[in-house]
Amino acid sequence: MLTESFVLFNTEISPGYRRMRLLVSEAFVRKAAPGRFVMLRVNDSTDPLLRRPFAVFDTGAASDGAYFEILYRVIGRGTAMLSEKKKGDILDILGPLGKGFSLDDSAGEKLLVGGGIGLAPLYALARKLREASSTVRLFAGGRVRGDILCADAFEAIGVECRFTTEDGSIGERALVTQPLVRHLESLDIGATIYACGPEAMLRAVAKIAACRAIPCQVSLESRMACGIGVCLGCVVPGRRHSVRTPDFRCVCAEGPVFDAREIDWKMSQ
Ligand SMILES: Cc1cc2nc3c(=O)[nH]c(=O)nc-3n(C[C@H](O)[C@H](O)[C@H](O)COP(=O)(O)OP(=O)(O)OC[C@H]3O[C@@H](n4cnc5c(N)ncnc54)[C@H](O)[C@@H]3O)c2cc1C
């Protein structure tokens, strides 16, 4: 679906991070399931040529109409251009695209693990899980305090949050996997893990889940160009990959959310 949409706000929420709300149709909101993403054209000209992918952060309805939000980090040219958009500017959106999180209805706890901007797809997921009355815990990690985004929004919907930073400026001075492991060791009911963040964090979380036979879904953020499975620029090696029998998974069309067991984490190192 190709949509033209008005910017409702585009606010800096922490140094280098912004939250943008866009006016969209109700049909768009219905399709914007947690874990899916959009490809945004950040400029009217052909420079930069490629759209940039962003996860569904939140959707809803306000007085102006149905809306869709992204949470993003200003990291390069495309996101710098996006950061200059103002209320009333028009953005061209392709999406929602890809396969999102599977909402498993097992009784156990839902453990969300986010590193930095990896928190972006986890808020919409947390809302859906809380609507189904699940116990949801968030393990959010970053380098510094400013990387821990929208903590109040997670807490407001009843998510129990634990924070870690590398400098100890908020929460525990640790990697996000450390409180996760401690929590799993103390847990006497089942759990499902949903994770998004840097690849090294996802690899570690996948290993923790595999060792304990815990279901784990990961949202991958490989670099992508088309977003619709045509260019194959975003593929990652699948579990059965070998030189003789290539097994590549297309992050935009088959993901970005995968069962962590589907990915060959050794190959992606
Ligand atoms: C499915 C998907 C969902 C995403 N969701 C979000 C989101 O919700 N919020 C958000 O802030 N970002 C998200 N990203 C990453 C985002 O698309 C990139 O940060 C953005 O495209 C960078 O564009 P740029 O022009 O500013 O940077 P560029 O100038 O293209 O690159 C600047 C730097 O960023 C690095 N970079 C570029 N793209 C990626 C990427 N995909 N992953 C990691 N590093 C990258 C480059 O290696 C380079 O060092 C997502 C990526 C994918 C694939």
Ligand 1 centre to CA of 212 (Å) is 31
**Torsions phi, psi for 13 (to 5 deg):** -105, -15
Pairing mode, if any, of strands 160-165 and 136-142? Answer: parallel
Ligand 1 centre to CA of 56 (Å) is 14
- For ligand 1, atom 14, the nearest C-alpha belongs to 54
pLDDT digits (tens), the chain, 269 positions: 888 899 999 999 999 999 999 999 999 999 999 999 999 999 888 888 899 999 999 999 988 789 999 999 999 999 999 999 999 999 999 999 999 999 977 889 999 999 999 999 999 999 999 999 899 999 999 999 999 999 999 999 999 999 999 999 999 999 999 999 999 999 988 999 999 999 999 999 999 999 999 999 999 998 999 999 999 999 999 988 777 888 899 999 999 999 999 999 886 65
**Which amino acid does the sequence have at 234?**
C
- For ligand 1, atom 9, the nearest C-alpha belongs to 72
In this structure, the residues whose C-beta lies within 6 A of any atom of ligand 1 are: 37, 52-55, 70-73, 75-79, 117, 120, 221-224, 256
- For ligand 1, atom 48, the nearest C-alpha belongs to 76
Q: What is the DSSP letter of 267?
A: T
Tokens representing 127 are 């809302």
Q: Closest Cα to residue 90, out of 23, 38, 32?
A: 23
> Cβ atoms within 10 A of the Cβ of 113, count?
29
The 3-state DSSP class for residue 66 equals: strand
pLDDT given for residue 267 in this prediction: 65
Ligand 1 centre to CA of 34 (Å) is 18
The continuous run of DSSP H or E covering 109 comes out as strand 109-115
Measure the CA–CA gap between 120 and 79, rounded to whole angstroms.
15
**Which amino acid does the sequence have at 55?**
A
pLDDT given for residue 242 in this prediction: 77
Tokens representing 199 are 């690849």
Nearest-10 Cα torsion for 221, 223, 224, 229: -60
Cβ neighbours of residue 17 under 8 Å, at least 6 residues apart?
A: 71, 72, 73, 74, 117, 146, 149
Ligand 1 centre to CA of 185 (Å) is 34
The continuous run of DSSP H or E covering 186 comes out as helix 177-186
Task: Name the residue of 49, 58, 75 to mutate for ligand 1: max ligand atoms within 8 A of Cβ.
Answer: 75
CATH 3.40.50.80 given to domain 109-262: yes
- For ligand 1, atom 6, the nearest C-alpha belongs to 54
Report the chain's terminal Cα–Cα distance, integer Å.
34
Domain with CATH 3.40.50.80 in the chain: 109-262
Task: Name the residue of 13, 17, 54 to mutate for ligand 1: max ligand atoms within 8 A of Cβ.
Answer: 54
- For ligand 1, atom 38, the nearest C-alpha belongs to 223
Q: Closest Cα to residue 208, out of 140, 261, 138?
A: 261
Ligand 1 centre to CA of 147 (Å) is 16
Which atom of ligand 1 has the smallest separation from the CA of 75?
26
Measure the CA–CA gap between 194 and 206, rounded to whole angstroms.
10
Domain with CATH 2.40.30.10 in the chain: 2-97
Contact criterion met (CB below 8 Å) for 142 and 119: no
Contact criterion met (CB below 8 Å) for 116 and 74: no
Helix, strand, coil % in the chain, rounded to nearest 5: 25, 35, 40
**2-97, what's its fold?**
Elongation Factor Tu (Ef-tu); domain 3 (2.40.30)
Ligand 1 centre to CA of 50 (Å) is 12
pLDDT given for residue 269 in this prediction: 57
